């Protein structure tokens, strides 16, 4: 009988399984790899220090992710898992007209507040840059009216991170099964169960208000040897661009009400391209590599569900889902923290954070 069964092998379930094996637990992870899984499509921005949602408990997740990420990457490297696409590349936030320049200043002032839970340890890592510097940092950029940089921001490849977590967990004995779980009662007997099923979680834990939000996202080939060092680029419009060694990823739509259909649409592609080319017209000639589409697990209450699920009828069922557009950032910490909780191995500090996210 395994100590822990994890349902779902996206970034959250993979982190839960990984952490449990680091605690010496025996783990079975069951994952259906549903078409449209969010982790496969996620852009990869990891910038908890620029998360603006200070008024909700999510600022606690941003602070936890901020300290956990370097530890996570180092631990994976120590396990021989060096391919995660992770790099501390910085983030460039830009204004495209005078009105946006005013918003940009207010945003920077808010981020610099040292009282924020996710405020950077060194405030000088958040600073303005002039338009020419911004252009040099991200060459395809349009003329801008203002810009600032957050040096702490990073990017990660969700697919590679998940693969690294699962490979590391498997090397410590985790058993990974690819199949659909129809009911919790069908799972092998275990001490505890963590449901990390992304947007599909309510099929197993019906009381959760988690819904799919479709995101269409484009990968363009970029023939520039320096491209892997470009910062994440965010205008103030909700769209973004980020670079890996051979490509720029531009996204993304946020479509509520599209159900579980991971379809690419004409309107979605039009929206993504129109926004990206208005901020980075220098990409107009870049070849299209691929479109991806994923279903973000969005929690109706606005922040994730993390913890025990008394209503499941089982006293050993836990859930970790509802990370919405920020799951590659928060998910590794919350998956690991819920696994610790399920195994009775969590610290008092982690339990205090998790208490704010109880289902």
In the complex with ligand FAD, the residue whose CB is nearer, 4 or 135, is 4
In the complex with ligand FAD, the residue whose CB is nearer, 42 or 135, is 42
Q: What's the order of all strands across the beta sheet hosting 192-195?
A: 175-177, 27-30, 4-7, 192-195, 317-321, 305-308
State the nearest-atom distance from the C-beta of 118 to ligand FAD, in Å. Answer: 13
In the complex with ligand FAD, the residue whose CB is nearer, 28 or 95, is 28
What are the backbone angles phi and psi of residue 95, rounded to the nearest 5°?
A: -110, 140
State the nearest-atom distance from the C-beta of 331 to ligand FAD, in Å. Answer: 5
What are the backbone angles phi and psi of residue 83, rounded to the nearest 5°?
A: -100, 90
Whole-angstrom distance, CA of residue 93 vs CA of residue 128: 9
State the nearest-atom distance from the C-beta of 43 to ligand FAD, in Å. Answer: 3
- Residues listed for the chain: 359
The secondary element (H helix, E strand) that includes residue 22 is helix 11-22
State the nearest-atom distance from the C-beta of 128 to ligand FAD, in Å. Answer: 24
In the complex with ligand FAD, the residue whose CB is nearer, 202 or 282, is 202
State the nearest-atom distance from the C-beta of 34 to ligand FAD, in Å. Answer: 3
State the nearest-atom distance from the C-beta of 330 to ligand FAD, in Å. Answer: 7
State the nearest-atom distance from the C-beta of 130 to ligand FAD, in Å. Answer: 27
In the complex with ligand FAD, the residue whose CB is nearer, 179 or 229, is 179
Between helices 158-171 and 58-78, what is the axis angle to 10°?
A: 60
Q: Which residue lies nearest ligand FAD, judged by its C-beta? A: 327
State the nearest-atom distance from the C-beta of 92 to ligand FAD, in Å. Answer: 15
DSSP state of 39: H
State the nearest-atom distance from the C-beta of 196 to ligand FAD, in Å. Answer: 5
Whole-angstrom distance, CA of residue 77 vs CA of residue 280: 34
**CA distances (Å), origin 107, targets 67, 143, 190, 330:** 22, 20, 47, 21
Whole-angstrom distance, CA of residue 151 vs CA of residue 127: 9
| Binding-site ranges for ligand FAD (CB under 6 A) | 7-13, 30-34, 37-39, 41-45, 158, 180-181, 196-200, 203-204, 215, 217, 251-252, 294, 296-297, 321, 323-329, 331
In the complex with ligand FAD, the residue whose CB is nearer, 135 or 192, is 192
Give DSSP secondary structure letters for 75-139.
HHHHTT---S--B---EEEEESSHHHHHHHHHHHHHHT-TTSTT--SSGGGEEE--HHHHHHHST
**CA distances (Å), origin 182, targets 47, 186, 259:** 36, 7, 19
In the complex with ligand FAD, the residue whose CB is nearer, 39 or 50, is 39
> What are the residues whose beta carbons fall under 8 Å from the beta carbon of 105, sequence distance 6 or more?
146
In the complex with ligand FAD, the residue whose CB is nearer, 99 or 256, is 256
In the complex with ligand FAD, the residue whose CB is nearer, 38 or 95, is 38
Lookup: tokens for 205: 């834990």
Whole-angstrom distance, CA of residue 176 vs CA of residue 167: 10
């Amino acid at each position: 009988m395994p100590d822990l069964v994890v349902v779902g092998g996206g970034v959250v379930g993979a982190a839960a399984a990984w952490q449990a094996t680091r605690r010496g637990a025996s783990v079975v992870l069951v994952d259906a790899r549903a078409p449209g899984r969010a982790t496969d499509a996620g852009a990869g921005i990891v910038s908890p220090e620029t998360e603006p949602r200070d008024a909700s408990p999510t600022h606690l997740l941003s602070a936890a992710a901020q300290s956990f990420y370097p530890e996570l990457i180092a631990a994976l490297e120590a396990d021989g898992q060096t391919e995660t696409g992770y790099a501390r590349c910085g983030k460039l936030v830009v204004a495209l007209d005078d009105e946006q320049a005013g918003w940009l200043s207010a945003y920077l002032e808010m981020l610099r507040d040292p009282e924020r839970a996710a405020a950077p340890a060194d405030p000088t890592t958040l600073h303005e840059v002039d338009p020419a510097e911004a252009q040099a940092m991200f060459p395809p950029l349009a003329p801008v009216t203002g810009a600032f940089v957050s040096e702490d921001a990073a990017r990660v490849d969700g697919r590679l991170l998940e693969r690294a977590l699962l490979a590391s967990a498997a090397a410590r004995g985790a058993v990974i099964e690819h199949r659909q779980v129809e009911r919790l009662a069908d799972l092998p007997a275990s001490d505890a169960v963590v449901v990390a099923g992304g947007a599909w979680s309510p099929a197993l834990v019906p009381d959760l208000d988690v819904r799919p939000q479709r995101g269409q996202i484009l990968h363009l080939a970029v023939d520039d040897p320096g491209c892997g060092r470009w910062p994440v680029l965010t205008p103030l419009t909700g769209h973004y661009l980020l670079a890996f060694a051979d490509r720029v990823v531009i996204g993304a739509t946020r479509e509520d009400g599209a159900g579980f259909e991971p379809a690419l649409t004409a309107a979605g592609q039009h929206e993504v391209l129109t926004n990206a080319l208005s901020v980075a017209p220098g990409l107009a000639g870049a070849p299209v590599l691929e479109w991806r589409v994923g279903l973000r697990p969005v929690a109706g209450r606005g922040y994730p569900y993390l913890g025990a699920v008394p209503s499941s009828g089982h006293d050993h069922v836990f859930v970790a889902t509802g990370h919405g557009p920020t799951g590659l950032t928060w998910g590794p910490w919350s998956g690991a923290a819920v696994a610790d909780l399920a195994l009775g191995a969590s610290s008092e500090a982690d339990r205090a954070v998790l208490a704010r996210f109880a289902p």
